[in-house]
Amino acid sequence: MRRHRPAPRGTLSTAPGGRLSRRSALCGLAGLAAVPLVGCDSRPQKTSARFAQFGTLVDISIWDLPQREAERAISILQRDYAVLNRDWYAWGDGELGQLNRSLRRAVEAPVSAPLGELLQHGLRLSAASRGLFDMRIGPLVELWGFASAASMAESTPAPGDDAIRAALDRARLHVDVLHDGTGWRVRAEAAGVLLDLGGIAKGDILARGMARLESEGVSRALIDAGGDVAVMDHLGTGPFRVGIRPAREGEAVRLLELQHGETVTTSGDYARYREIGGRRYAHIIDPRTGRPSEEARSATVVHQVGARADAAATALIVGGAPEFDAVCDAMRVETALLVDNQGQMRATPEMRVRLETI
C-alpha cells in the first residue's frame, strides 16, 4: 500500500453523465501528477467528499442519492478504507504485517478471505507478468528504503551488491496461498519472505469501494485515489473522462473516456523516489535485478478488474518498451499506455482510439 506517497498536487473535479461536451467532459485526473482540470458541471444531486487515506487523498463523487444518504455511504466507505489501510500495509500491525512476521520465520499462517483472495489473485497476475510484477518484492523495497516515510527520509547510501543479492534470494522464495474447508492459509518455502501489496492493493481497494457503494444503493459514482480512478454508472448516463498528464514538463495532458465498471491506474517513477548521492531512485523495483526500475517514466492501464489494472501498470513500467506488447498480451490488457525513459509514448490500439490530447 502506498501509505507514504505524497498527496497529489491540485484538486480533482468530476463531470456528470450525458453526452459529454468538450466543456463538461473533464473528470477526475489520473496520472503522474494530479492537476486541477476546470470546466466540470455539477448537478444538484451530486455529493462529493475527500479524505486522506493510503498516503494520498481519496475523492468520492456520488450522483444519484439524496445528500444525506450519499454522505452515509461515503462514511461507511471511509471506515472500510481505514481498515484496509491498516490491514494491507506490509510493515504495519495489521493483518499483512502480522502475516509477514510469520513468513519471516517460515511459519504458516491463516489469513482472512479478502487477504487470501487478493494474494492468490496477485500470485496469478505475477505469473502472467513475466515476473515483472511480484508481491514478494518486500525485502528489496525495504532494502532500498521505501518501506516507510521515516526510511525514505533517511540519507542512507545505496545498498551494495551483496545486500541486493541477499534480498533477491529472499524475494525469490516460493510462496503458496492455500484454500480449503478451514479457510485461507499462506506458507513460504523458507524464512525471509516479505509480501508487499503496494503494486496491486489500490486497484483492489477501488473495486471494493465501488462494491460497497453499490450495496449502499449508489448507481453512479467515481472514486479517485490519488489519480487511480474507478467509475460506476448503472444509470447509463454516459462515460466519464479522466485526464492523464505525463509527469514531465511540456508533455501533453491526455483525456481518456472511462465506461461503467472500469478502473484506470498509473504507475509513475515520479510518485515516490529517493535521492541518493545526487541520483534519483524510483520506488518500483525491477525483480530481475533487485534495483529500482529505470525503463519507463509511467504506465497507465484501464481494465474492468481493478487489481489487474494496477498489477499490469506496475509490470509495464518495470518492463518498459521492450516488454510492452508481451506484457499486455500475457496479462490480457487491451488498454495501456507507456511513456518510456526517453519520453516516447507507446499505446495499444484500444488506448490510441480512446486517447485525446488537449
Contact positions vs Mg ion (CB under 5 A): 199, 267, 310, 313-314
| 54, 81, 133, 240: which one binds ligand AMP (CB under 6 A) | 133
Q: Which amino acid is at 54?
A: F
Residue 16 binds which entry of Mg ion, ligand AMP, none, CB below 5-8 Å type-dependent: none
φ and ψ of 124, to 5 deg: -65, -40
Task: Determine, following the binding rule CB under 6 A, whether residue 310 of this chain makes contact with ligand AMP.
Answer: yes
Task: Determine, following the binding rule CB under 6 A, whether residue 137 of this chain makes contact with ligand AMP.
Answer: yes
Q: CA 141, CA 147: separation in Å to the nearest integer? A: 6
Q: Please, which residue, 20 or 168, has the CB nearer to ligand AMP?
A: 168
- The mark string for 262-281 relative to ligand AMP (x by CB under 6 A, - otherwise) is -----x---xx---------
Q: Please, which residue, 40 or 327, has the CB nearer to ligand AMP?
A: 327
Task: Determine, following the binding rule CB under 6 A, whether residue 141 of this chain makes contact with ligand AMP.
Answer: yes
| 241, 283, 308, 346: which one binds ligand AMP (CB under 6 A) | 283
Closest CB 161 distance from ligand AMP, rounded Å: 19
Instruction: Characterize the bridge pairing of strands 240-245 and 29-31.
Output: parallel
Closest CB 199 distance from Mg ion, rounded Å: 4
Q: CA 220, CA 64: separation in Å to the nearest integer? A: 6
Residue 134 binds which entry of Mg ion, ligand AMP, none, CB below 5-8 Å type-dependent: ligand AMP
Task: Determine, following the binding rule CB under 6 A, whether residue 196 of this chain makes contact with ligand AMP.
Answer: yes
Q: Which amino acid is at 90?
A: A
Q: CA 40, CA 197: separation in Å to the nearest integer? A: 34
Q: Please, which residue, 71 or 294, has the CB nearer to ligand AMP?
A: 294
Q: CA 3, CA 126: separation in Å to the nearest integer? A: 22
* Interacting residues of 354 by C-beta distance below 8 A, sequence separation 6+: 256, 257, 302, 335
Q: CA 41, CA 272: separation in Å to the nearest integer? A: 33
